[in-house]
Chain A
Amino acid sequence: MTSPTPPLVAALLGPAGPEIGCDECFERLDGYVELEIAGADAEASTPGMRAHLDGCPACSEEHQSLHAFVLTSNEEGDNA
């Protein structure tokens, strides 16, 4: 069994697979989050997004926040 990569090593070496950049991540983030919430294959819509979110803390935080906020807004009926 492979032991999990320590966070510092992961931050230094980053994701190995192809990834998109921050600008494209921002462009595609809203559609990606809605597909995730719908249970669809979000990564298929934007290949390289998952790797980028693994490698970029700032974009990852925005992704997590948008996901959480849209879920909350959907529950409250405010995302119309």
Chain B
Amino acid sequence: MSDLPGIRAAQQAAPAAPSATDLVPPSPRQDDDARWLTPLASSGPAHDRAVRELHLLLLRASTFEVRRRSAALGLSASSELDDIANQAADDALLAIMSRLDRFERRSKFTTWAYKFAIHSAGVAVRRHAWRNRDLSPDSSESLEHLTRLSDDPGEAAETRELLARIATAITRLTAHQRDVLLALAVDGVPIDVLADRLSSNRNALYKTLHDARARLRGLLDDEETTG
């Protein structure tokens, strides 16, 4: 880790007399080196202190996200959710420590670190909320549900017509595209939960979703052109 450019430059800089530039507050990026990157990449008491302080910040971020996400999902406060926040902070710390050399300084170090805690906590709460829910083994029920919605008098006529065209076009997608699209868009399965069940990951499933949506829009456009 000590070959980070900023750290190497700091180590090589000789002590100098105060100059006019010393009167200017250091930029957030310079602060990051002294406050976080140098101690985290070193060993000894300064390292241990920085790790403890970072873990506390990550726990605040993960607790914030657990409360936010569990409220949105209607989950009551529980010791399980507290455990999830703690585990998410631990996971985020491990992820950050293994990626210190990949911090690209597009933001403050703390903002970069917070996103790991929020990601870990959000994924964990979604998994927790869906832990006892079965996913439909195939998408035929979801497609039937979509077809029923296209007959729902509660929907605007324009929407009903569009949903009916979409339901027809969906049958022309590949089976995998159809299953992923209907699970995510109609059944509301969180993408990380579906990724777990399909032994996939968020990025790969979103690519499938993106391709399915593009194909669907293309089919509807073709219909309008030829119809």
Contact = CB atoms under 8 A, between A and B. Distances in A.
Q: Is the interface of B mostly helix, strand, loop or mixed?
A: helix
Given A21-B203, A30-B111, A62-B119, A16 B217 contact: yes
Nearest to B213: A14
Given A34-B107, A34-B108, A70-B114, 15 more contacts: A12-B185, A13-B216, A14-B210, A23-B203, A26-B115, A30-B106, A30-B115, A57-B190, A58-B122, A66-B111, A66-B114, A68-B68, A69-B118, A78-B57, A80-B110
A80 B159 CA distance: 49
A65 B202 contact: no
B111 A12 contact: no
B111 A13 contact: no
B133 to A, nearest CB: 17
A21 B207 contact: yes
**Most-contacted residue by chain B among A21, A61, A72 (CB, 10 A):** A61
Interface residues of B, number: 50
A58 B129 CA distance: 14
A51 to B, nearest CB: 10
Interface residues of A, number: 36
A33 B190 contact: no
Contacts of B114: 30, 66, 69-70, 73
A9 B31 contact: no
B61 interface: yes
B110 A66 contact: no
B52 interface: no
Nearest to B192: A58
A79 B206 contact: no
